[in-house]
């Protein structure tokens, strides 16, 4: 379903969120205080505007209150990011996601009602570290400080064994959410489903258990 998004702040993060949402077929209003940034997104957004995200009147004139989702991607100016997020929540925008620079910024955004706080550099840094740490890990999603989902190549030792043979949940406390074979993905696999050497496994669990699982297998 087509949705309406507004993105305020068109640095590297804001630009890539805006153009990806637009590519996915959504309506995107892209806003930045700098005309040169707005020029970069003209062809990859439905509407674009030069405006100050801390100027309530300007935001109202752009019809921001008609948007269900607004992403505040002002990273370099903490004061503007906070003021903009506060204004949007006061104007009644249902879902405001804001990019935080650091833990203090996160705390303030949380206090003023941001619905989701994003740390792209931290998240990407974590993902890259996971890739570097293990050549088996294909992708990694952090769910909380403790829990993650990893996409991992099935090791040779699992070849032609069923999930029940492998007894992974009991041995490691992690759960196989899905098995990818070529282009097919088997979600919620059954106990008697077989794992083959070239499969990719989606595994959820506590970080310590996932680490043990990666190291042992």
- Can you give the binding site for ligand ADP, defined by CB under 6 A? 8-14, 31-34, 37, 52-54, 73-77, 80
Residue 180 β-bridge partners: 185, 200
SS3 91: coil
Which one, 48 or 148, has the nearer CB to ligand ADP? 48
End-to-end Cα, the chain, rounded Å: 41
Q: Please, what is the minimum distance in Å from the beta carbon of residue 106 to ligand ADP?
A: 15
CB of 109: closest distance to ligand ADP in angstroms? 14
Q: Measured from the CB of residue 52, what is the shortest distance to ligand ADP in angstroms? A: 5
Closest residue to ligand ADP, judged by C-beta, is: 11
Q: How far apart are CA 110 and CA 51, in angstroms?
A: 24
Q: In angstroms, give the least distance from the CB of 108 to ligand ADP.
A: 16
CA-CA distance, 12 to 21, in Å (whole number)?
Answer: 14
For residues 204 and 133, give the distance between their C-alpha atoms in angstroms, rounded to a whole number: 18
Q: Which is nearer to ligand ADP, 57 or 160 (CB)?
A: 57
Give, in order, the Cα–Cα distances in Å from 76 to each of 11, 19, 82.
Answer: 9, 20, 11
- Name the residue nearer to ligand ADP (CB basis): 18 or 217: 18
Considering the complex, state which of residue 52 and residue 151 has its C-beta at the smaller distance from ligand ADP: 52
Nearer to ligand ADP, 38 or 153 (CB): 38
Q: Write down the least CB distance from residue 110 to ligand ADP, Å.
A: 19
Question: What is the rounded distance in angstroms from the CA atom of residue 25 to the CA atom of residue 117?
Answer: 24
């Amino acid at each position: 379903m087509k949705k309406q998004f507004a993105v305020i702040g068109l640095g590297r993060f804001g630009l890539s969120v805006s153009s990806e949402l637009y590519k996915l077929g959504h309506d995107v209003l892209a806003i930045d205080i700098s005309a040169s940034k707005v020029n970069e997104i003209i062809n990859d957004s439905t509407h674009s505007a030069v405006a100050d995200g801390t100027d309530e009147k300007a935001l109202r004139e752009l019809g921001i209150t008609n948007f269900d989702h607004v992403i505040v991607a002002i990273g370099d100016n903490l004061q503007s990011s906070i003021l903009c997020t506060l204004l949007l929540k006061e104007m009644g925008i249902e879902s405001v996601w804001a990019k935080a620079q650091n833990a203090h910024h996160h705390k303030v955004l949380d206090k003023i009602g941001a619905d989701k706080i994003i740390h792209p550099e931290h998240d990407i840094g974590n993902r890259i570290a996971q890739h570097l740490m293990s050549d088996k890990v294909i992708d990694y999603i952090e769910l909380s400080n403790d829990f993650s989902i990893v996409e991992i190549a099935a090791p040779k030792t699992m070849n032609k064994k069923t999930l029940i043979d492998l007894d992974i949940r009991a041995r490691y406390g992690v759960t196989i959410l899905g098995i990818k074979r070529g282009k097919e993905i088997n979600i919620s696999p059954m106990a008697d489903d077989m794992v083959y050497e070239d499969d990719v496994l989606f595994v959820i669990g506590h970080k310590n258990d996932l680490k043990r699982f990666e190291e042992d297998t």
